[in-house]
Structure 1
Amino acid sequence: MEAFKVLIQVLNVLSALAVIVLVLLQHGKGADMGAAFGSGSSGSLFGASGSANFLSTSTAICATIFFCSLFTLVYIDSQPAANAGAGVMSEVVKTKPAENQKDTPVQPAKNENQSSIPN
């Protein structure tokens, strides 16, 4: 199960990076992708349909993969573990209180060199 979780985490990070790159590649409404690479407005980098359809579709697919992997990680982490009571400190804190210890607090010892007048 742990290997599956790592695989989903890697998929999540890669899809997030893909969404970031694809959003940064997209230009405003009036800009043309071909003009960014030096060709005039007559040439287009992604064909006659333009770059908006290709980049928009790719961004939507990567965003869908990102959210699905994110929801899968949340579902995996919300399931109760096989060792539900065990935590990080479960092995360290296994001490019993001393049986001969009194419930009264320890009084601080008075030092003869200290005066009772505050400075």
Structure 2
Amino acid sequence: SRINSTWGGNTVDMVRAAKYLEIYREEKVLDYVSNVAGPALLKGLHELQAEFPEFIRNVRGKGLMCAYDICSPELRDKFLKECHANRMLILGCGSNTVRFRPALNVPIADLEKGIEISRKAAKAVFKK
């Protein structure tokens, strides 16, 4: 068990992980992330950067793990608060980075809504 050794294994967690991998294969979750959702999220983030280039920089990502930098920690924190006020759960990372890590099965409509909330927050915080 995990209680008496670092790498002793946990049978329940191993069975659960194996089932998750089986579901991912059957439902082609990673194909969806790589070919549909990930590119859609990055496209939306690049559009935000194009709209607010003086504030949003360095859009990057792989699959659905994406991020960008905001020009200052203070503006990043205000941006996050504005997103939260608009019911979007989003986290910062480091001093001035905004990160996105939605569920692997996130619908495109939810990604689009997240980009729109980000746009609304950017307009409010960056006064554009």
Larger Rg: 1
The structure carrying a bigger strand percent of its residues is 2
Q: Decide: shared fold, TM above 0.5.
A: no
TM tier relative to shorter chain = under 0.3
Q: Relative contact order: is structure 1 or structure 2 higher (C-alpha 8 Å, sep ≥ 6)?
A: 1
Q: TM-score, normalised by structure 2?
A: 0.25
Q: TM-score, normalised by structure 1?
A: 0.26
